[in-house]
Chain A
Amino acid sequence: MDIIHPLDRYLRTDRLPHIWCPGCGIGIVISAMLRAIDRHISEGHFTQDDVATVSGIGCTARATLYLNFDSAHVIHGRAIPFAIGLKVIKPNLKVIVIGGDGDIAAIGGNHLLHSARRNMDITVIMVNNMVYGMTGGQVAPTTPMKVYTTTTPYGNLEYPLNLIKLVSSLNTNYVARASVTHPHLIERYIYNALSRDGFSFIEVISICPEVFGRHIGFRNPVELFNKLKSMIKFKAKPSIDESDIVWGKEIVLGEYVNEYKSGFIKLLYGS
């Protein structure tokens, strides 16, 4: 296998090209994640064999198919319990769950809640494109109010779920929000998440021009990207009170919870 790009060693390059649409934000998240993992590996914190990635079903969840780690592409919403089974039996693994907002916060929401409550030693990366991508543009728990989707043809009547607030209210060690408009923050937060025990959660605001863009009138990826960028505000120490996403106004990035409590694994096995 010819290594063309320094991160190729973390990819099953024989499976490329990938399925994601032009302009999709998922690729930005994956490359930032690989850079964060690569930094850890080159600093000797763990090896490529120690990394496990787990995902459910969805566009985002397809990521694990392309990654050259021990990986699992399981069923919709259930990546977190699978990941816990792995981690508890092989505590040395660095277990990363990656999925869309439907996968992680809707069908998988209960598992998110309880794994955060346990401060379970896994890292969950939720790519929030505010819509169901894979199934073609249905409403998600994160879709802004009033937005027209294929299953809310008269406009979304439901208030969106603020995952930052939800997960921060639990016993977790790390909660951060990044955005595909600022890849270096994605990388930094994933690196930071992987540097500690306990539960870590990173929400990455992403763009889905193909379906979400169509719903809100930004079919052009560059325009959607710029629109998102115009809302982004970075804060070194954001407060949870300012974490609500109001589309068109402000989306605050930053590390909302940043702690080093003992994780579940330490309680289970001792140090």
Chain B
Amino acid sequence: MRLEYLTGNHAIAEAAIIAGLKFYAGYPITPSTEIFEYLASKLPTKGGVVLQFEDEIASINAVIGASWAGAKAMTATSGPGFSLMVEALSLAIMTETPLVLAYVMRAGPSTGIATKAGQYDVMQVRWAAHGNYELVVYAPWSVQECLDLTIKAFNVSEMLRVPVILLSDATLAHIWERVVIREPPEVSIVNRKKPKVPRDKYKPYEPEEDLVPPMACFGEGYRVLVESLTHDERGYYKATNEVQRRLVWRLVNKVLKNKHLISDSATYLVDDADYVLIAYGSTARSAYALIRELRSKGIKVGLYRPKLLWPLDEEMLINSTIKAKKVFVVENNVGVYVREISRVLRNKEVISIPIIDIEVPTPDEIFEVMKEWI
């Protein structure tokens, strides 16, 4: 264990190295670039490779290739770059390719304000890629969580053979905080399952009980087939209802049925709360500050903070708001994740507090809206 004083971006890069990263490909974009630069100087000294590509499309496709060569691989970007990556994200989902994508949100639409924060892309990240799938997305609220959740992102991606997204923002990217760094064996690192059958019996998409297929890589003699078309367990293209249904449901269910392994959220004083604030990422820091302040004045408020943003842990959300008279969803955007909360809390009064602030919404700004309802 050691102490460091790092920014959110440094912590993501540091965590990736601890998790066993061997390949980074990227294209520079504010506010994610420090992840790239930090790795460019450090990763080669740990036996890894860092390459700058001609665009984000090439970057994520190279990451997918590197993962199939057996390396833990990642890229990082922001909104404009993620928009370019979504086609390949769908490929990674379809081919069950482990990879980590650090998405550092900035103010949009379009080029927006490159250096400034916002949480506009929480829906885009989940839904932008084509086809139906479940996507694992983690949202940290501190530099320590940038570190911890990046390690978790790698572990989950290897465990379930899925791309995992770490969703940070321009504020977290650049704040400095104390972090506790633990390396293995103090922290556990997961590696993908390897085939247990002889080469001629191996099928690259044949799942085990957890719905995850063991993964052979290129150059190991298994004659793997990475297939973006709808495929059977061998990777053979089949345009039938039967194969399409079996594949799509498995891709969805391997995330949902393993939810207990990936779920992560935090609560603060929800047990007796009349009002529960729901917030994620840097904005949750402001909500938390407000709750501490209101509690000192005797107002019973609590916080529910999903760290796993997608898929939302519905039971946790319901249990954390069971006694609340009202639920407030605070976001640095026009109010989008609130739709997901309302979908689950159908019988509750769910109030959206959308605050566009290019730094981070302040506790006072939140209270300004909230006070009309309490």
What residues of chain A have their CB less than 8 Å away from a CB belonging to chain B?
A: 15, 49-50, 52, 54, 57, 64-65, 68-75, 78, 80-86, 88-90, 92-93, 110-111, 113-114, 268
Pick the contact of A88 from B49, B64, B226 — CB < 8 Å? B49
Closest beta carbon of chain B to A213's beta carbon, Å: 26
- Per-residue CB proximity of B45-58 to A under 8 Å, as 1/0? 00001010111011
Verify A78–B61 contact, CB threshold 8 A: yes
The interface residues of chain B lying within 8 Å CB-to-CB of A90 are 69-70, 218-219
B interface SS class: mixed
Tell me which residues from 215 to 244 in chain B have a Cβ below 8 Å from any Cβ of chain A: 218-229, 236-237
A115 shortest CB reach to chain B, Å: 9
Q: Which of A52, A80, A268 contacts B219 (CB 8 A)?
A: A52
The reply to whether B87 and A52 form a contact with Cβ atoms under 8 Å apart is: no
A84 CA / B68 CA spacing, docked (Å):
11
Closest A residue, CB atoms, query B23: A89
Question: B170 an interface residue at 8 Å Cβ cutoff?
Answer: no
Do A74 and B219 touch (CB < 8 A)?
Answer: no
Instruction: Indicate whether A111 sits within 8 Å of B223 (C-beta atoms), given known contacts A65-B237, A85-B73, A90-B70.
Output: no
- A111 contacts B66, CB within 8 Å? no
Known: A88-B49, A93-B219. Is A74-B58 also a contact (CB below 8 A)? Answer: no
Q: How far is the CA of A54 from the CA of B62 in the complex (A)?
A: 12
Distance of A78 Cα from B228 Cα, bound (Å): 12
Residue of A nearest to B87 (CB): A75
User: Do the beta carbons of B228 and A89 come within 8 Å of each other?
Assistant: no
Query: In the complex the two chains form, is B58's CB within 8 Å of A78's CB?
Result: yes
A contact face: mostly helix, strand, loop, or mixed: helix
B334, chain A: closest CB distance, angstroms: 32
CA distance A108 to B225 in the complex (A): 21
Least CB distance, B85 to chain A, in whole angstroms = 11
Q: How far is the CA of A179 from the CA of B87 in the complex (A)?
A: 33
Q: Does B324 contact A (CB under 8 A)?
A: no
A73 touches B219 (CB 8 A): no
Question: A residues within 8 A CB of B61?
Answer: 74-75, 78, 81-82, 85
Partner of A82, one of B51, B54, B64: B64
A93/B218 contact (C-beta < 8 A), A74-B61, A78-B61, A82-B61 known:
yes
- Residues of A near B53 (CB, < 8 A) are 81, 114
- Residue contacts A-B, CB under 8 angstroms, 18 given: A52-B219, A69-B223, A70-B218, A73-B225, A73-B229, A75-B228, A78-B57, A78-B61, A81-B57, A82-B64, A85-B23, A85-B62, A88-B62, A88-B66, A93-B218, A110-B54, A110-B58, A111-B54
Given A49-B219, A85-B64, A89-B71, the answer on whether A78 and B88 have CB atoms closer than 8 Å is yes
B:97-141 near A, CB below 8 Å: none
Q: Within the assembled complex, what's the spacing in Å between the Cα atoms of A93 and B68?
A: 12
In this assembly, does B67 line the interface, its C-beta being within 8 Å of a C-beta of chain A? yes
Smallest CB gap from B219: residue in A? A90
Q: Apart from A73-B225, A86-B65, A111-B58, what 6 extra A-B contacts exist at CB < 8 Å?
A: A65-B237, A68-B223, A81-B58, A85-B63, A85-B69, A88-B49
- B307 sits at the interface (CB 8 A): no
Q: How many residues of B contact A (CB 8 A)?
A: 41
Contact of B65 among A15, A68, A71, A81 (CB under 8 A): A81
- B225: chain A residues at CB < 8 Å are 64-65, 70-73
In the assembly, what is the distance between CA of A75 and CA of B81, in Å?
18
Residues of A within 8 A of B282 (CB): none
- Give the interface centre of A15, A69, A75 by most chain B CB atoms within 10 Å: A75
- Docked Cα-Cα span, A92 to B220, in Å, equals 11
Select B25's contact among A71, A85, A113, beta carbons within 8 Å: A85
Contact A73–B58 (Cβ < 8 Å)? no
A64 to B228, CA, bound (A): 12
In the assembled complex, B91 has its CB within 8 A of some CB on chain A? yes
Distance in angstroms between the alpha carbons of A88 and B224 in the assembled complex: 18
- Whether A85 and B67, one on each chain, are in contact in the complex, defined by CB atoms closer than 8 angstroms, is yes
Q: A65-B237, A81-B59, A85-B23 given as contacts; is B224 within 8 A of A70 (CB)?
A: yes
B22 within 8 A of A: yes
Contact A89 B59 (CB under 8 A): no
Min CB distance B101 to A, Å, is 14
Measured in the bound complex, the distance between the Cα atoms of B91 and A98 in whole Å is 19
Contact of A71 with B237 at beta-carbon distance under 8 Å, contacts A49-B219, A81-B62 already known: no
CA distance in complex: A71, B225 (Å): 5
Q: Could you tell me the distance in whole angstroms from the C-beta of A99 to the nearest C-beta in chain B?
A: 13
Minimum CB–CB distance from A79 to chain B (whole Å) comes to 8
In the bound complex, residues from chain B placing their C-beta under 8 Å from that of A83 are 65
Measured between alpha carbons, how far is A73 from B220 in the docked complex, in Å?
18
Which of these, A71, A74, A93, A114, contacts B91 with CB under 8 Å?
A74
Most buried by B among A57, A71, A89, A114: A89
B49: chain A residues within 8 A (beta carbon): 88-89, 268
Q: How far is the CA of A86 from the CA of B66 in the complex (A)?
A: 5
Nearest-Cβ distance from residue B126 to partner chain A, whole angstroms: 20
Instruction: Give A64 to B64 CA distance when docked, in angstroms.
Output: 17
Query: Given A57-B228, A89-B71, A49 and B54 touching (CB < 8 A)?
Result: no
In the complex, A80 Cα to B61 Cα: how many Å? 9
In the complex, the 6 A-B pairs of residues with the closest C-beta atoms, listed nearest first = A85-B65, A89-B69, A72-B226, A85-B66, A82-B65, A85-B62
Q: Inside 8 A of A268's CB, which chain B residues have their CB?
A: 49
Q: Which of chain B's residues has its CB closest to A19's CB?
A: B237
Across-interface contacts of A113 in B (CB, < 8 A): 54
What is the minimal beta-carbon distance from A77 to any residue of chain B, in angstroms?
8
By a CB distance below 8 angstroms, the chain A residues around B223 are 68-71
Q: Which residues of A contact B73 (CB under 8 A)?
A: 85
Decide yes or no: A89 and B66 within 8 Å by CB, A81-B58, A81-B61 being known contacts.
Answer: yes
